[in-house]
Amino acid sequence: TYARVLADLSGADIVITVDHKVVARTVPQEVTRDLVAAEIEPGETTQLNGEEYAVRTPLSSGPVRIYSLSSIDVAAREATGSAMKALGMVALGGFVLAAIGSLWLARTLTDPIKRVAGDIATMTASRDFGRTLDVDGTSRELDALATAFNELMGGLTVAEAETQSAYLGAIRALAAALDARDPYTAGHSERVSALSVLVARQLALSEAEVDIIRLGALLHDIGKIGVADHILRKPGALSADEFEQIRRHPGLGARILRKVPFLEPHLAIVELHHERPDGKGYPFGLLGDNIPLDARIVHVADAFDAMTSARAYRPARAASVALVELQRYSGTQFDPASVDALREALAQSTSAPERRLQALLGREASA
């Protein structure tokens, strides 16, 4: 009963496990069997009983886990079926009107039908489902069909936005869980994301580019989920082998995110945020402008937050000191334009960089 109530509230199927054993479910047994066997991370998509599912974990407490499952295949089939029905109605309406109408009526309706069909074809070809069909009053039937089609596409757009919001929520939770593995890095991903957005806006990038950088920066260290705790939390210097393990996290993070198609725009940040302009970075040793700008921005923000955050082996540096360090290695370790943009974003004649930084980060977090 609890699982059914959760399913009704969430609009998704529910599986409840205790010690990896299913105790309640609203999906077929074959799905739960594959789910338990897969041991997937929250927010991933995976094949369960031959269908693609988006899986979240609303609750994980001790041996108890509650999984929320949404079948992507079922949603796609329902959306496709509804769209095909709407298109069929448009075609049927045009056929009936053409068959029973007079020559004058046929001439009157030819242009509106062509317009509707052309708009639908253009919308389908460009996958621009945010557009709507015009309702111009030339035909009540066509206007009704256009209105129904617009309502359908509006519903699909809302559903897509809700799905993406759910994914983003899971990603933020995963980034927070990663930061929580080490008390000295708590909040690091959120701060790097906020700093990266400051730099991007200082460089006058578009809001679409800023959004890509915001989420990419939030995910930049996601590959460290595959690095052992004793390496991440080591208070002293890393051995050569341990440092090599750390160097693998950009590639591992990129492999993780490739499983989620809509995160593809952020892969460059995750995979390349440790590249350097002088070619001495990793994993590929890219030079200068061969490194994408968004990855260069996150590299600067990442280094700045690392310097201004306390670690087990050293205290936090002042923001002004960190800016001097960034400037010293501008052009070799760090992208000069990004360093200058960060300095300008934090510059304010009436307050110290530390207070300016705190105010800017607070405002960005609220946004």
- The predicted-structure confidence for 102-132, as pLDDT tens digits, reads as follows 666 666 656 666 676 767 777 667 666 666 6
Which ranges of the chain have pLDDT less than 50? 349-353, 363-367
Distance CA 60, CA 38 (A): 16
- Give the per-residue pLDDT at 20: 82
Six-digit token pair at 351? Answer: 């307050």
pTM of the predicted model over 0.85:
no
Is omega for the bond preceding 283 within 30 degrees of 0, making it cis?
yes
Distance CA 87, CA 79 (A): 12
- Give the per-residue pLDDT at 130: 63
Q: Rounded to whole angstroms, what are the CA distances from 104 to 115, 118, 143?
A: 18, 22, 19
- Give the per-residue pLDDT at 107: 62
Of 248, 249, 292, the residue nearest 269 (C-alpha): 292
List residues with catalytic annotation: 224
Residues in the chain: 367
- Give the per-residue pLDDT at 349: 37
Is omega for the bond preceding 183 within 30 degrees of 0, making it cis?
no
Mapped onto helix, strand or coil, the DSSP state of residue 57 is: strand
